[in-house]
Amino acid sequence: MKHVKEIKNHADRVKEATDYVHTRDLSKATYRLGFHLMAPSGWMNDPNGLIYFNNQYHVFYQHHPYDPTHGPMHWGHAVSDDLVHWNHLPIALAPGDHCDQSGCFSGSAVDDNGVLTLLYTGHNVINRERDEFYQNQNMARSMDGVRFDKSSQNPVIPKQPEGMQHHFRDPKVWKENGSWKMVVGSTEEGCGQVLLYQSDQLETWSYEGVLAKHNGENEGYMWECPDFFPLGDEHVLLLSPQGIEAEGDRYHNHHQTGYFVGHYQKNQFERGSFKELDYGHDFYAVQTFQDGKNRRIAIGWMDMWESPMPSQKEGWAGALTLPRELVLKNGHLYMKPVEELVALREKEIKLPSTNVANKWALPIKGQKIELVVTINLNQTKAEGFGLKLAQAEDGSEETVLFFDSNTKTVTLDRSQSGEGVTGKRTAPVSWNEQVRIQLFLDRSSIEVFLNDGETVLTSRIYPKETSIGAELFVLNGNVQLEESVGYLLKTVVT
């Protein structure tokens, strides 16, 4: 806390934090990613304030610049022209004012008549040992898109509605029929819910009621990071529930991220059942925005609370996922990598059509690769098949993606994925004429997109630098690999 208290002026606190984070030398960090957005050093968690503004992509994120562990939250800030190459700007928000004494928690960004405006939660600790705190909603504006001034009207929403518990955070704001709307995550009687607010000019808000709430089933005690938007003819409510209990293969992360699909009219949202968005070990707090191409793009935190983070000993922790375009088909959200990511491809390695029994070492090696593989299921006769990635020559390390023909599921197994991590995650997969696998391996992460994003699994792994092999393997039978391709990928971030 000393860095928050020593300097009272917000601009000075921002400068001190920005200067500090760029003094850390991470040149020898072995787990640093090659093409994912990370903080220059220190801790990173939730993406915040995703926006396409003045023909640039802006991403803000929860950031503790002074240590690779969670601490008083600042807002880091990066921009891109193409969703591939990112430039770090000065830290946008630092805590320590009367409205955010203990942290500038998550929120969103809007374009208010050409002014880049942030809405965020102020976190204020009363007694840490007794978990006593209060939260409010605040605003900051920037005339140049770089330096932000907090509003003199803060907090713009001083407290939660009467009867609600003290969890009250993560405002997501949008414009609807000429008015501003906001959803905020909340808790009532130990049940998660999302509250709806309305405003004419962002500094004064009226409470419109509960947009959606826990239905008494296994849906968690707190709904963090809500995001609400139209997609096609329906509306989608994304959220990250805390406290969902594991059920079979589902809900094995410390907290979950998923969505409801439904109909929205006159501040009422009639929603269906909760569905997971990503089945991997490390995906949380996803947020979305609409860009200049009218795409709905999602980015999540590529880590998870209570997960091992071996990179902390290198002076950093946390990364964001690759940007993903959201498409709604028959009530199901597909996530597919944005098309701009083809710019990462440095060298193409073709994988010929072949029938494989037992195993086949793929002719591609590296820590940063993309694979686009198609398996012909009509000509595959096996109990199962899969890919081994980030593989050591002696077999001591490997990350396994296994498709089970009997259960029609896919399992991402990181039991031998390197330092610290373990565990399996299993998801359903469509089993028709073929399965199409697109995956990105980036030193200490793997993102798997099946059947154009119908099923997605995202996990962190921490293999040795020498674990660079890849293999297609088959269990009791043979598998038909259609003509496929691999790519060695560039390093574009540090």
Query: Residue 67 class from Cβ within 10 Å (0-12 exposed, 13-18 middle, 19+ buried)?
Result: middle
Query: Residue 393 class from Cβ within 10 Å (0-12 exposed, 13-18 middle, 19+ buried)?
Result: exposed
Q: Closest Cα to residue 148, out of 60, 70, 44?
A: 60
Is the torsion defined by CA of 356, 359, 365, 366 positive or negative?
Answer: positive
Count of H helices and E strands in the chain? 2, 33
Query: Residue 60 class from Cβ within 10 Å (0-12 exposed, 13-18 middle, 19+ buried)?
Result: buried
DSSP 96: -
Q: How far is CA 271 from CA 33, 245, 262, in A?
A: 38, 21, 4
Catalytic residue of the set 12, 19, 25, 46: 46
Q: By the 8 A CB rule, do 322 and 449 touch?
A: no
Q: How far apart are CA 122 and CA 169, in angstroms?
A: 8
Q: By the 8 A CB rule, do 167 and 119 touch?
A: no
Q: What does DSSP say about strands 409-416 and 424-428: parallel, antiparallel, or unpaired? A: antiparallel
Q: By the 8 A CB rule, do 417 and 390 touch?
A: yes
User: Is cis: bond before 72, omega within 30 of 0?
Assistant: no
Contacts of 181 (CB under 8 A, 6+ apart): 173, 174, 175, 196, 197, 198, 228
46 is catalytic: yes
Largest CA distance in the chain: 69
Q: How far apart are CA 310 and CA 315, in angstroms?
A: 10
State the CB neighbour count (10 A cutoff) for residue 370.
Answer: 25
State the CB neighbour count (10 A cutoff) for residue 128.
Answer: 9
SS3 344: helix
Active site residues: 46
